[in-house]
Copies of this chain bind each other. A is one copy, B any other.
């Protein structure tokens, strides 16, 4: 299945999620690990769409999410920086998810520079992440 860029943008405007988790992790100097992820969840009947997204971006995994839901997920900082973020810079989202993407991009780029490894950078990331994914009822 061949996906056109504008179809992907429309589908991600509807079903995609740019999320940054911040989890306690005693292995980290700051005591916390920053975990950005790009996710698209679908009912298992449409797993071939998730596989087509994986093929298009050339990265990520397709796994069971929960119950009869499957997820396409990209967590690798390198793949986010080199494949996912440039795609949505070239092909702008049209919903308010665009502003979540902008915050997501900012955080992943900060991580690319190692900013999240010091307390001050972590606090800045926490502040930005707290303003993401508001007004979504899912």
Interface residues in chain A, defined as those with a beta carbon under 8 Å from any beta carbon in chain B = 1, 3-15, 42-43, 45-46, 49, 52, 67-69, 94-96, 135-137
Contact = CB atoms under 8 A, between A and B. Distances in A.
A136 B8 contact: no
- Top 3 nearest A-B pairs (CB, nearest first) are A10-B10, A14-B14, A6-B6
A100 to B, nearest CB: 11
Contact of A94 (B3, B15, B68, B136): B3
A11 to B, nearest CB: 4
Given A68-B137, A69-B137, A137-B69, A96 B45 contact: yes
A91 to B, nearest CB: 9
Given A43-B137, A68-B135, 16 more contacts: A1-B94, A5-B6, A6-B7, A9-B10, A10-B14, A11-B13, A13-B14, A13-B49, A14-B14, A14-B15, A42-B95, A43-B96, A43-B136, A46-B95, A49-B95, A52-B94
Nearest to A52: B94
9 contacts: A4-B6, A6-B10, A7-B9, A9-B10, A10-B10, A13-B14, A43-B136, A45-B96, A46-B96
